[in-house]
Amino acid sequence: MTDSPRVSTRRVYTGRVVNLDVDTVRFPNGSIGELEMVRHPGASAVVPFLSDPAGDDPQILLIRQYRYAAERYLYEVPAGRLDANEAPEHCARRELREETGCEAERVEHMFTMYTTPGFTDERIHVFMAVGLTHGEVAREADEFIEVETMPLSRALSMVERGEIQDGKTSLALLYAAGFRAGR
């Protein structure tokens, strides 16, 4: 197998958020086929802690954001697309400020995930933020957001009950609770 499994690529759509390519690829068994790939610049997400993550049931911020694809408001952690050449931590800080109005004293990388690797190369870099101070929000025109404060235990119960349906948010909360909070 060659260094790259991609034999060729053809751009079929260029959009504001994503691009669509049809790639000719060499599979692990040597056969060749075509795959449609949504190209995405990547994103950052952040779990904002209002109180010490190591404390008993720390307070966090979640947003309720209208999502057209879901046809409803969803609970999410603040997140957004990386700008060209933007560092993931900078993006996390920017999105936290724009969507919640908060600045963080410290932002710490937790993990990086592929959203849906069956058809997109999108990766989300997930952070936790501590030492928050409140300021002004700077939302985009198409962002309809409400900020909610809650204990981490409530957010985890919402994941368990299926009330939080956003994948990045569920994984970010579970990771923060399992590997960061209380340690």
Total structural domains in the chain?
Answer: 2
Q: What is the pLDDT of residue 138?
A: 76
Confidence bin at 2 (pLDDT 50/70/90): very low
* Same-domain status, 21 and 61: no
> Which of 136, 143, 148, 163 is labelled catalytic?
143
CA distance 76 to 78: 6
Give the separation between CA 30 and CA 7, rounded to whole angstroms. 12
Residue 85 has pLDDT above 60, yes or no: yes
Taking the whole predicted model, whether its pTM rises above 0.85 is answered as: yes
- 148 with 67, same domain: the answer is yes
Q: Are residues 75 and 165 in the same domain?
A: yes
Decide if pLDDT at 144 tops 90: no
For the cut 50, the answer to whether the pLDDT of residue 1 exceeds it is no
In a domain, 54, yes or no: yes
- As to burial, measured by CB atoms within 10 angstroms (0-12 exposed, 13-18 middle, 19+ buried), residue 91 is buried
Same domain flag for 64 and 111: yes
Judge whether 89 counts as a catalytic residue.
Answer: no
| Residues 35 and 73 reside in one and the same domain | no
Q: Which residue has the higher pLDDT, 163 or 180?
A: 163
Structural domain contains residue 59: yes
d(CA 178, CA 176): 6
Answer for the pair 32, 25: CB distance below 8 angstroms, yes or no: yes
1 falls within a domain: no
In a domain, 155, yes or no: yes
- CA neighbor of 127 nearest in space, from 104, 145, 147, 150: 104
**Residue-range definition of the domain harbouring residue 157:** 43-180
